[in-house]
């Protein structure tokens, strides 16, 4: 009887270890999947946002100089207006999780500062240029990186579909085409 009970314990322990190993392998594989490249150079990862919520986030790409300029603008602007604080926090989160590239290494299909892009909002398409706040002029379709739409599109590649919170709710933005990107054109001075 003692031999049977020992054998039964051994079998149960073996099954438990096998289940644990399978669970570990599946967990490791799921983590691996979330670090696989999506669309070539773009990655999806699970991370926590500023509110501690687990989110699936796609990595964006920016240049080192754009990162420094934008973070400086955010720090100078953050406390000027409480109504924009949420958008500034979201932009800061995007910038801090971005993959930083040198201008000559930035993928040519990514929206960087001074990029001209064709965006779709449902059935409507519009061309915009993403600029710094002091260069913004909506009559010329020059939108600030601090605007909700500007924050949403920075660093995303052509073909991306982005859902982003704006003052009136959530908007779905499709990046149809990058019409001009300074880095792809060798214009590192913009």
- pLDDT tens per residue across span 16-41: 444 444 444 334 333 333 333 333 33
Percent of the chain with pLDDT over 70: 66
Could you list the beta-strand ranges (E) of the chain: 37-38, 42-48, 54-58, 61-63, 99-101, 116-121, 124-131, 142-144, 161-166, 169-180
> Burial code of 150-161, b = ≥16 C-beta within 10 A, e = fewer?
bbbbbbbbbebe
Q: Residue 80 maps to which CATH number? A: 3.10.50.30
In this predicted structure, the answer to whether residue 53 has a pLDDT above a threshold of 60 is no
The domain in which residue 174 lies consists of: 58-180
pTM over 0.85: no
CB atoms within 10 A of CB 74: 17
45 domain residue, yes or no: no
Q: Give 158-166's long-range contacts (Cβ < 8 A, gap of 24+).
A: 158/109, 158/110, 159/39, 159/109, 160/58, 165/86, 165/90
Number of structural domains (the chain) is: 1
- Least Cα distance to 87 among 26, 144, 13 occurs for 144
The Cα 163–Cα 19 span in angstroms is 39
4 domain residue, yes or no: no
18 domain residue, yes or no: no
- Express each pLDDT in 128-178 by its tens digit: 999 999 999 999 999 999 888 898 899 999 999 988 777 788 889 999 999
In this structure, the strands spanning 116-121 and 61-63 are unpaired
CB atoms within 10 A of CB 167: 10
185 domain residue, yes or no: no
8 domain residue, yes or no: no
33 domain residue, yes or no: no
Higher pLDDT, 62 or 6: 62
In this prediction, residue 77 carries a pLDDT of 82
**How much of the chain is helix, strand and coil, in % rounded to 5?**
40, 30, 30
- Express each pLDDT in 83-112 by its tens digit: 667 777 878 888 998 999 999 999 999 999
40 domain residue, yes or no: no
30 domain residue, yes or no: no
């Amino acid at each position: 009887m003692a031999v049977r009970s020992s054998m039964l314990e051994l079998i149960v322990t073996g099954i438990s270890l096998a289940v644990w190993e399978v669970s570990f392998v599946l967990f490791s594989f799921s983590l691996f999947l979330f670090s696989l490249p999506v669309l070539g150079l773009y990655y999806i990862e699970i991370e926590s946002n500023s509110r501690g919520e687990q989110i699936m986030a796609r990595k964006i790409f920016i240049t080192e100089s754009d990162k420094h300029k934008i973070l400086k603008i955010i720090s100078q602007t953050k406390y000027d207006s409480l109504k924009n604080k949420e958008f500034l926090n979201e932009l800061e989160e995007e910038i801090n999780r971005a993959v930083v590239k040198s201008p000559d290494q930035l993928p040519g299909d990514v929206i960087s500062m001074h990029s001209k892009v064709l965006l779709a909002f449902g059935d409507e398409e519009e061309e915009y240029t993403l600029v710094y706040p002091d260069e913004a002029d909506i009559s010329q379709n020059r939108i600030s990186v601090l605007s909700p739409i500007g924050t949403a599109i920075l660093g995303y590649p052509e073909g991306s579909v982005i859902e982003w919170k704006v003052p009136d709710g959530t908007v779905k933005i499709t990046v149809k085409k990058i019409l001009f990107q300074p880095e792809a054109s060798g214009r590192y001075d913009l």
